[in-house]
Structure 1
């Protein structure tokens, strides 16, 4: 009987500990999901910047060719 009571107390303690631990586990999950979302956002902005530079390159080239071929106007 005393051992059964002791086992019951320990099992209740384990359940209480698990219930107490659950919010912290959820908080860790939220923060790790936030970190993943932040990393994905950085990746998207980095890709956008690369795409912008790739889109801008032909216009930069055309502008430099235009400047090289046009005669200089003396004032």
Structure 2
């Protein structure tokens, strides 16, 4: 029900994306690599495919919101 944060999930990116899709959380999730570095990249999790990601990739999936307060990342 809460926010999901996955560190070093690069090898399991496809499986994580499938789990988010099955639970309706993929559209609002984002992932990033090289965070804080010049080559930093932050992308929508919906773009994940079967390609492994860099080792230190991080994913954030906020809880599903059914109206009310709050917003997307």
Using structure 1 for the length normalisation, give the TM-score: 0.18
Say which structure is richer in helix: 1
Greater CA radius of gyration, 1 or 2? 1
Identify the structure with bigger relative contact order (alpha carbons < 8 Å, sequence gap 6+).
2
Using structure 2 for the length normalisation, give the TM-score: 0.19
